[in-house]
Structure formats: C-alpha cells, structure tokens
C-alpha cells in the first residue's frame, strides 16, 4: 500500500483514488441529468471564472492563517519568495506548463494549488448549470469558495478562521 506523506497528513493512495473517483462519478451523474440549453461560451466563461476564483482561494488559503492581506501584494513562490509573473499565474495551465515547479527556484509546487483551482472550476460549472444566473448562484458560489478555503486551512493549520465563518453566518441569516 502506498502512503503519500505531507506534514500533518497521511493519505492512503487507494483512499485518495476512491475519493476522486467518487467525485468524478457524482459530477458525471449530475451533468448527465442536466439539459445543456446554455451557450457553450457561457459554460467556458463560468469554468474560467471558477478557476480564477480558485486561484484567489489559494491566495486566501496561504495568507489568512499568517495574517497577511489577501487583496494586496503580488503572488510569490512560498519557497523562494520571488514574485510570480502574470504568465506563470494562469490558473491550471501554468501549473501544467511549468511541470509543477517554480520557474525561479525549480522547487515543487504543491498539488493543492491545481486541486483548489479545478474544484472551484467544477463547482462554478455545476452551480451555474443547476441555477443559471441568479442570486442563488452567487450565494452558492460564495458558500462553496468559503468551504474550500476553510477546508484547506483547517487541513493544514487545524483552525477555522473567524474572518471566514462570521461573514458566512451573516450571509446565512440574511438569506
């Protein structure tokens, strides 16, 4: 049995494969039941927006636990601290093009980055297919992004930041 080790986290490869297979099967089942009346350009735009917001979610996951501002400052490599140029910061594609390594220091980039971007893109896609352009879509996208950020912060730091939970509680009361 192969075990992938990450600080504070052991993942049995078999369990990880089963989880991914479960997510893919659920995604296929949901999308097979939906009538694709939407324009393909709309769907592509939603996927692109999802991956961009996933990239921002990665910024939040990295910066919120260390009390850094998420909206200011350029993205940088967590290992060598060099700023990332715009063409190396394109969600999903840059990760694949750079072969999972920083262009400057050549150290590995965590799989978490592409995983969060893909999860966000798929979430945006499914929510848009189910609810179209609506207030419900905006609220669900906000909720799913918050859940993704909370999940990965909790996974690494064992905390759920108040800066994320309090706005979600307020949103829940308003809805």
Sign for the pseudo-dihedral over CA of 107, 121, 153, 15: negative
> For residue 115, what pLDDT is reported?
95
Q: Which residues contact 9 (CB under 8 A, 6 or more apart)?
A: 155, 156
Each of the 175 residues of the chain gets a pLDDT tens digit; together they read: 444 455 444 455 566 666 667 767 776 776 666 665 656 788 899 999 999 999 999 999 999 999 999 988 888 998 999 999 999 999 999 999 999 999 999 999 999 999 999 999 999 999 998 888 899 999 999 999 999 999 999 999 999 999 999 999 888 887 7
| Residue 72, phi then psi, degrees to nearest 5 | -120, 150
Q: Which residues contact 151 (CB under 8 A, 6 or more apart)?
A: none
Q: Which two tokens stand for residue 85?
A: 């140029």
| DSSP letter assigned to residue 101 | B
Q: Could you tell me if 46 and 124 are in contact, meaning their C-beta atoms sit under 8 angstroms apart?
A: yes
Measured CA to CA, the distance from residue 48 to residue 170 in angstroms comes to 28
- Show the CA angle centred on residue 91, arms to residues 101 and 80, nearest 5°: 35
Question: pTM here?
Answer: 0.77
């Amino acid at each position: 049995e192969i075990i992938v080790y990450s600080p504070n986290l052991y993942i049995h490869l078999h369990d990880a494969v089963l989880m991914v297979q479960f997510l893919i099967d659920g995604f296929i089942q949901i999308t097979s039941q939906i009538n694709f009346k939407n324009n393909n350009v709309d769907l592509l735009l939603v996927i692109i927006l999802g991956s961009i917001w996933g990239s921002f979610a990665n910024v939040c996951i990295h910066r919120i636990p260390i009390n850094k501002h998420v909206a200011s400052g350029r993205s940088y490599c967590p290992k060598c601290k060099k700023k990332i140029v715009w063409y190396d910061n394109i969600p999903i594609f840059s990760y694949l093009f750079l072969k999972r390594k920083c262009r400057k220091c050549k150290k590995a980039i965590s799989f978490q980055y592409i995983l969060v971007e893909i999860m966000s893109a798929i979430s945006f896609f499914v929510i848009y297919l189910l609810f179209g352009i609506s207030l419900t879509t905006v609220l669900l996208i906000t909720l799913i992004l918050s859940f993704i950020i909370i999940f990965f912060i909790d996974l690494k730091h064992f905390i759920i930041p108040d800066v994320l939970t309090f706005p979600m509680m307020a949103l829940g009361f308003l809805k």
